[in-house]
């Protein structure tokens, strides 16, 4: 069984970051180690939340793993909260990357043209530097725009997305996939560029007239789980689109749905069944 480590916060309630990554990666049949960067009562889209920074724990935990010769088949980062954390995570990648370790970076910091609370352009610049270490980066178009200093565009075409993807891989990542790409009212998916083979690949499925928090974390976690189970990069991202869509459908069907995240738990059968094939 493959073992990964995911580095992001624990939002105790909120259906995001580690409370999403752990169950999804486990359900995919992959052992999930965690390196929690902070503990929050909820994610930051709530009106109030506590925040306990765990930056000081990163080095002692990593050093102890090193001594115990614990290693990982993949390193997957999500929400990171400070420049110091970016720098420690960068060193962690240098220390733990073996020839076949996959590095997935989801540069969580913005959506719909705006940065999340607490993030700045300077942080996006540092995140862009970290992205040079990745096998795959998974920004949405807002995050890509901030990292590349491009104006955020709601109207775009395929040529523009391809141009942005090439610029993203120029940051140093082997592959980049822009998530939440939509060229029509009824379809949404991803656009992938592999800078090694110079190939583009895209996939779209149904676009529903809703927007829920946490879908990016569901997408990245399921993509990593699938990739660790041996699917190609493109097939892993296809499964992530279909699983995220199923999670959104389950949320829409639930009259008691939470405002803060999606019912990814009820969509797990789709992920498990597709991985069993």
C-alpha closest to that of 273 among 30, 27, 32, 31: 27
> How many residues at the interface with ligand PXL, by CB under 6 A?
14
In the complex with ligand PXL, the residue whose CB is nearer, 17 or 126, is 17
Residue 9 is a binding residue for ligand PXL (CB under 6 A): yes
Q: Which residues contact 16 (CB under 8 A, 6 or more apart)?
A: 43, 79, 213, 214, 217, 260, 261
In the complex with ligand PXL, the residue whose CB is nearer, 44 or 101, is 44
Residue 89 is a binding residue for ligand PXL (CB under 6 A): no
Convert residues 177-216 into a mask of x (bound to ligand PXL by CB under 6 A) and - (unbound). Answer: -------------------------------------x-x
Residue 10 is a binding residue for ligand PXL (CB under 6 A): no
* Cα 24 to Cα 14, 132, 265, 276, distances in angstroms: 15, 26, 8, 15
CA separation for the pair 226, 141 (Å, rounded): 23
In the complex with ligand PXL, the residue whose CB is nearer, 50 or 64, is 50
First to last CA, the chain: 17
Using CB under 6 A, pick the residue from 3, 29, 55, 116 that binds ligand PXL: 116
Residue 76 is a binding residue for ligand PXL (CB under 6 A): no
Residue 11 is a binding residue for ligand PXL (CB under 6 A): yes
Q: Is the distance from CB of 95 to CB of 68 less than 8 angstroms?
A: no
Tokens of 1: 């069984």
Instruction: Please report how close the Cβ of residue 155 comes to ligand PXL at its closest, in angstroms.
Output: 25
Helix axes 121-130, 83-96, angle to 10 degrees: 0
Binding site for ligand PXL (CB under 6 A): 9, 11, 16-17, 40, 43-45, 79, 108, 116, 214, 216-217
């Amino acid at each position: 069984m493959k073992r990964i480590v995911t580095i992001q916060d624990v939002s105790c309630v909120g259906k995001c970051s580690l409370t999403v990554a752990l169950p999804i990666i486990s359900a995919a049949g992959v052992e999930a180690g965690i390196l929690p960067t902070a503990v929050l009562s909820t994610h930051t889209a709530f009106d109030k939340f506590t925040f306990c920074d765990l930056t000081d724990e990163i080095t002692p935990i990593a050093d102890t793993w090193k001594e115990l010769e614990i290693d990982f088949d993949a390193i997957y980062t999500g929400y990171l909260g400070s420049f110091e954390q970016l720098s420690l995570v960068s060193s962690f990648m240098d220390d733990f990357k073996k020839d076949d370790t996959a590095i997935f970076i989801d540069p969580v910091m913005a959506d719909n043209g705006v940065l999340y609370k607490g993030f700045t352009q300077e942080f996006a610049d540092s995140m862009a530097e970290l992205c040079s270490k990745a096998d795959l980066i998974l920004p949405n178009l807002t995050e890509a725009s901030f990292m590349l200093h491009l104006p955020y565009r709601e109207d775009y075409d395929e040529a523009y997305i391809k141009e942005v993807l090439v610029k993203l891989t120029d940051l140093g990542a082997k592959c980049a996939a822009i998530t939440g790409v939509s060229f029509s009212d009824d379809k949404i998916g991803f656009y992938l560029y592999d800078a090694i083979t110079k190939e583009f690949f895209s996939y779209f499925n149904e676009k529903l007239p809703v927007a829920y928090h946490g879908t990016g974390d569901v997408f990245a976690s399921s993509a990593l789980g699938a990739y660790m189970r041996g699917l190609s990069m493109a097939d892993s991202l296809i499964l992530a689109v279909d699983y995220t869509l199923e999670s959104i459908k389950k949320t829409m069907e639930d009259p008691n749905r939470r405002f803060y995240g999606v019912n990814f738990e009820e969509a797990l059968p789709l992920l498990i069944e597709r991985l069993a094939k």
